[in-house]
A and B are shown apart, each in its own frame.
Chain A
Amino acid sequence: NAGVTQTPKFQVLKTGQSMTLQCAQDMNHNSMYWYRQDPGMGLRLIYYSASEGTTDKGEVPNGYNVSRLNKREFSLRLESAAPSQTSVYFCASSEVRSFARSGDFGNGTRLTVT
């Protein structure tokens, strides 16, 4: 079982460039999430999708857009990258509307914006 798969693992962008981070899960989970992790800040929720066709903003949504393509896939797009978006991005999925019963994270995408 692959679990939650994120691509790419590493990416370097120049300020103003755009890119899409891909995430796919094979556990038939309804809910999917995007977090960013910065030193000394823990993980902060960017966007959330309770089910296919729905998305909601988290704590730090500015500068990002998401798309829940189908039940398996949830992508995160940076339209115009900024150095403040340098971070490690994690995608996660869960069976119910919280992590209480299951919470699976991908291995992250390390993004550097110069």
Chain B
Amino acid sequence: TQLLEQSPQFLSIQEGENLTVYCNSSSVFSSLQWYRQEPGEGPVLLVTVVTGGEVKKLKRLTFQFGDARKDSSLHITAAQPGDTGLYLCAGARTSGTYKYIFGTGTRLKVLA
């Protein structure tokens, strides 16, 4: 059973377009993280959100944690080819746990 579902699985867009990636679950998480992974490399942590309704911004990336802490979204404004990669969300079921559950990932390709 996959506790964290990401959508869409694949996304191919033109440079300059906006996009939103979703991470959904029926379970409550104490915190949620977003990673970006490029081919041949390990995931790189982008952000951690811990409070329901929290919004964090990282340049053109906006991350939101759902009010009920069951879902999260990642919005990219004016996508660039450098944003291409696999985006993964990961949630912790209880505070301080090492058992982060990873979503299946969204593979994004931004065309120049």
Interface residues of A (CB under 8 A from B): 4, 31, 33, 35, 40-45, 48, 50, 56, 58-59, 90, 92, 96-108
Contacts and interface: CB of A to CB of B under 8 A. Distances in A.
A79 B92 CA distance: 30
A43 B96 CA distance: 19
A99 B92 CA distance: 9
Contact of A97 (B4, B40, B96): B96
B42 A42 contact: no
A40 B106 CA distance: 10
A102 B50 CA distance: 14
Given A43-B43, A98-B96, A103 B33 contact: yes
A96 to B, nearest CB: 8
Nearest to B45: A103
Contacts of A98: 31, 92, 96-98, 100
Contact of B98 (A48, A101, A102): A48
Contacts of B33: 99-100, 103
A40 to B, nearest CB: 6
B92 to A, nearest CB: 6
A42 B98 contact: no
Nearest to B89: A42
19 contacts: A33-B98, A40-B9, A42-B104, A42-B105, A43-B90, A45-B99, A59-B99, A90-B42, A92-B42, A97-B96, A97-B97, A98-B92, A98-B97, A100-B33, A100-B50, A100-B92, A102-B45, A104-B42, A106-B42
Contacts of B105: 42
6 smallest CB-CB distances across A and B, nearest first, come from A105-B42, A42-B102, A43-B102, A103-B45, A42-B104, A48-B98
Given A41-B104, A99-B33, A50 B40 contact: no
Contacts of B92: 98, 100
B76 interface: no
B48 A100 contact: yes
Contacts of B42: 4, 90, 92, 104-108
A103 to B, nearest CB: 5
